[in-house]
Chain A
Amino acid sequence: MKTTIKIIAAFCFILFVSAFTITKSTLGDGYKIGDIADDFKLENIDGNMVSLSDYKEAKGFIVTFTCNTCPYAVMYEDRIIALDKKYAPNGYPVIAIMPNNVEVQPGDRMEAMKERANTKGFTFPYLIDAEQTVFPKYGATRTPHIFVLQKTEKGNVVKYIGTIDDNYKDAAAVKTKYVEEAVDALLKGKDIKEKETKAIGCSIKV
């Protein structure tokens, strides 16, 4: 009996995995530190279209590629909210962008994004990259993936690319808050110590 169930389960598993075609991510392109980031126009959860140029008073942006369905992204939600609360008043608001293909990841549909933003009380725009054209330009590969931009006369300059801090498991045990250190340095007109960091995240679904 047990064996039968296992065979059925194994067969279902094979059917399940063979039902999808392979997807490959494109890597290596995207912005480097010092590049000028293009503006975008993406739909927010409130139905409005949002561009970086809408933020006349901003000194820069904490552009955060994130989503509902990635466990790492979920673990960082509270810390993303905290970043916005701390830095939006100082001119560096969080702009969250959901990059996944919602056909592949239905849990990231606009309706689900609205729900999640409501539940968590997002204080920042949560935009959908519906055409999946923005995240490849940035070179985002995973969620969460952060790009700190500084507004200059030339445009929005990419100043930091990477992860939020060095402990996804436990916010209380964090030793280095990479994004905070980057934005603090920009606010003080100093050099950013660590301009690029890496972390495990969920691949962006295409």
Chain B
Amino acid sequence: MRIKLMLLLLSLIVSCKNKTEVKLENVSENRLVKHVDEKMPDLEIYDFNGLEKFLNNTDNKVYVVNFWATWCAPCVKELPYFEKLREEYSKDELEVLLVSLDFPHLYDTKLKPFIREHQLKSKVVALDDVDMNTWIPKVDTTWSGSIPATIIYKKGNRKFYEQSFDFDTLKGEVEQFLN
């Protein structure tokens, strides 16, 4: 465990060093100085119709789609495992998508700063669709609606998990799709 932590830390240090400087943008006069030198990440926002394409890719990759939110503590806890997953497999093998269910009025003040501070490398999109009773069963008929929730799929093969993961369990599930 300690070695894993050190490796993870090391990889974070390396990725920090490689980070290119961001340009100043939209600096308003009354913004705090510590915020002005960092650009907020862009965020793609979808309703469920727009999101569906990410749940139905038909190429030969394994797709790991995690539903989360910054206000969900168990979700935040497992995010590093999804990030690590992305690092361990090639982009031809596996893609991770983090679908945020954060509240739209907090995209700019909570979600984007979170993505930046935690330097999330996986693709993050926001799902903004209030008609939950319609779209939740379309994700999976067994989903009660609690998060975190995760789909792993490859072509027609698909599994849904309404649970938290540790890294080994998550990787074990992914391996079943790779073979």
Contact = CB atoms under 8 A, between A and B. Distances in A.
Given A14-B9, A198-B136, A25 B143 contact: no
A7 B164 contact: no
A11 B119 CA distance: 13
Given A9-B117, A166-B130, A199-B133, A25 B77 contact: no
A178 B133 CA distance: 10
Given A169-B104, A169-B130, A23 B136 contact: no
B145 A199 contact: yes
Contacts of A178: 133
Contact of A141 (B77, B119, B131, B146): B146
Interface in B94-151: 101, 103-104, 117-119, 130-133, 136-137, 142-148
Contact of B144 (A11, A23, A198): A198
Interface string A181-200: 00000000000001001111
Given A3-B17, A7-B16, A25 B146 contact: yes
Nearest to A143: B146
Nearest to B143: A198
A23 B166 CA distance: 9
A28 B164 CA distance: 16
A22 B164 contact: yes
A27 B162 contact: yes
A149 B74 CA distance: 31
Interface in A125-161: 141-142
Contacts of A123: none
A203 B72 contact: yes
Contacts, number: 107
B77 A203 contact: no
B76 interface: yes
A2 B17 CA distance: 10
A7 B167 CA distance: 22
Contacts of A68: none
Interface range on chain B: under 10, 10 to 19, 20 to 34, or 35 or more? 35 or more
Interface string A1-16: 0110011011101100
Interface of A: 2-3, 6-7, 9-11, 13-14, 17-18, 20, 22-25, 27-28, 70-71, 141-142, 162-163, 166-170, 173, 178, 194, 197-205
A199 B129 CA distance: 11
11 contacts: A3-B16, A7-B13, A10-B12, A20-B77, A24-B164, A27-B162, A141-B146, A167-B130, A194-B133, A198-B133, A200-B147
Contacts of A9: 117
A166 B133 contact: yes
Given A3-B16, A24-B163, A168 B130 contact: yes
- Among A11, A28, A194, A198, chain B packs the most CB atoms within 10 A around the CB of A198
Contact of A198 (B80, B130, B145): B145
A141 B164 contact: no
Given A10-B12, A14-B5, 10 more contacts: A10-B9, A10-B16, A20-B77, A24-B163, A70-B71, A163-B133, A198-B132, A198-B143, A198-B144, A200-B147
B104 to A, nearest CB: 7
B146 A203 contact: yes
Contacts of A194: 133
Nearest to B81: A17
B133 to A, nearest CB: 4
